[in-house]
Amino acid sequence: MNSTLLIGLVAFAALLGGAFVGAQARVRLPEHHLSEDTKNLVSVSTAVVAMVSALVLGLLISNANTRFTRLGGEVTALSAQILRLDHILRRYGADGEPARALLLQYAEQKSRDLFPEDGSDVRLGNPSTYEVLQRIEDMLLNLKPANARDQWWLSQAMALAAKIGDTRWLLAQQVGQGTPRAFVALLVFWLALLFTSFGLFSPRNAISSTTLTMCALAVAAAVAMFLELEQGFGGLVRISPEPMRQAVLTMRDEPRDLTAP
């Protein structure tokens, strides 16, 4: 099972369990423990926890969305850089065709690394794919420009190959980043405390039970959502694979110089 989905289910169970504990405590506590003064104190105290929880959860969702958008931009930039490098090598001429063929192989492997059929098999820093990129760089270094025009195309190609390498490392460094699980557990504890107070003073009827259940589900879904957005690759909510796939399709359709060495 997806880890973020599992955390969401645990959060839902914790919130619902908190409401149940509160409801059971209401039945078992002496009447003077449930006075109006006690209710006011509990309401004021939990209001502080509710405010902190809302601020933290809102910030976590905002940060996760920013991270998700940034990752999508990096993938789009990578696909554009690959396409531009392929175009430059085509303009360079027949001597650039071997590097073009290897660049297509790199694009195909990178697309499979980032967007495998099995979401759990994402490999942001696959060393074998990076080795293909290094072979492309070696091929570019071995090219002998015949004139100033070829020299300019070659310098542009080398710069783009370096950018592709930089983007690869940016993506690879995303592994393991995100909100610490201990902090997520603390947030769930705050929310469970709130639902315990809700259950403590809620009337015992179907409407109250349904409302608390749906609210617990909504809040737990928010917790799971920001974790999904942080993950970016391989989850239920994932970066669009279309830029990389379109880049591969475009490169396959580009004409090739059959006289290349």
Q: Is residue 193 part of a domain?
A: no
Q: What gap in Å lies between CA 181 and CA 47, rounded to an integer? A: 25
State the pLDDT at residue 39: 77
**Positive or negative, the Cα torsion across 214, 215, 218, 219?**
negative
Look up the domain containing 116 and give its range.
52-178+205-253
State the pLDDT at residue 175: 65
Q: Is residue 161 part of a domain?
A: yes
Q: Is residue 258 part of a domain?
A: no
User: What does the pLDDT profile of the chain (261 residues) look like in tens digits?
Assistant: 568 889 999 999 999 999 998 888 877 767 767 677 777 877 888 899 999 999 999 999 999 999 899 889 999 999 999 999 999 999 888 888 999 999 999 999 999 999 988 777 888 888 899 999 999 999 999 989 889 999 999 999 999 999 999 988 888 887 667 788 899 999 999 999 999 988 888 888 888 889 999 999 999 999 999 998 888 887 788 888 999 999 999 998 877 664 544
Q: Is residue 197 part of a domain?
A: no
Q: Is residue 95 part of a domain?
A: yes
State the pLDDT at residue 172: 82
State the pLDDT at residue 261: 46
Q: Is residue 239 part of a domain?
A: yes
Q: Is residue 91 part of a domain?
A: yes
Q: Is residue 232 part of a domain?
A: yes
Domain count, the chain: 1
Q: What gap in Å lies between CA 245 and CA 1, rounded to an integer? A: 27
